[in-house]
Amino acid sequence: MNLVLRKPMTVAEFLAWEARQELRHEFDGCEPVAMTGGTIAHDLITFNIRASLAARLSGGPCRPHGPNVKIATSAGNVRYPDALVSCVPFDPNALFIEQPVVVFEVVSEDTARIDRIVKLREYQATPSIRRYVIVEQKSIGLSVFTRRDGDWIATALTEGDILRMPEIDVEIPVEELYAGLDYPTPADAEPTA
């Protein structure tokens, strides 16, 4: 069996290639990975995240972005988070958002492994990222990873909880991220006798 081994792309080669593409792609350090379309729930949740952040960050140094802007991770990969916050000035013509502080990914069945393992490691290795929030799509729930003294602390949040992000001085009720979506309450999901 003949195997053709391709030389991995560089970030510069990826950026030149991506500029000619109709669809967005992330870069996994070796090759482009197509960004697939999402559900209406995914779109609504990402909108709610950015709207909640924009309302609370208005007038301050931090700004929400996403999902159409890139970040470069310390692993040399290029990602398009569903939402992120950066607190440094930016060039409107830049290809990347510099120094993201908080990053959000809305997880789906297709992206679960990448979001929960691969991106978690990449975001942990990126010093500017202080908090990584994985947002469930099929139910109300967040997995929040916070950088503390070089370690990452994991917290699970659900309905009734508050997402506290002191690094950007913002607090958001978890339910606000799911506004416009109806999920069964735990009592509704229990079988009846």
Phi, psi of 61 (to 5 degrees): -75, -20
The predicted structure's pLDDT at residue 5: 57
The predicted structure's pLDDT at residue 80: 86
Domain assignment of residue 44, yes or no:
yes
- Global confidence as pTM: 0.83
Domain assignment of residue 117, yes or no:
yes
Q: 66 exposed, middle or buried (CB, 10 Å; 0-12, 13-18, 19+)?
A: buried
Domain assignment of residue 162, yes or no:
yes
Name the residue range of residue 169's domain: 39-181
Domain assignment of residue 186, yes or no:
no
Domain assignment of residue 193, yes or no:
no
The predicted structure's pLDDT at residue 26: 65
Domain assignment of residue 192, yes or no:
no
Domain assignment of residue 7, yes or no:
no
* DSSP one-letter string for 152-179: EEEEEE-TT-EEEETTTTEEEEGGGGGT
Quote the CA–CA distance of 53 and 89 in Å, as a whole number.
17
Quote the CA–CA distance of 180 and 111 in Å, as a whole number.
23
Domain count, the chain: 1
Split the chain (193 residues) into runs of 10 and give each run's mean pLDDT: 62 71 68 72 94 96 91 86 94 90 92 88 94 95 94 95 97 97 67 51
The CATH number linked to 81 is 3.90.1570.10
The predicted structure's pLDDT at residue 64: 96
Domain assignment of residue 5, yes or no:
no
Q: Considering only CA atoms, which of 143, 138, 139 is closest in space to residue 159?
A: 139
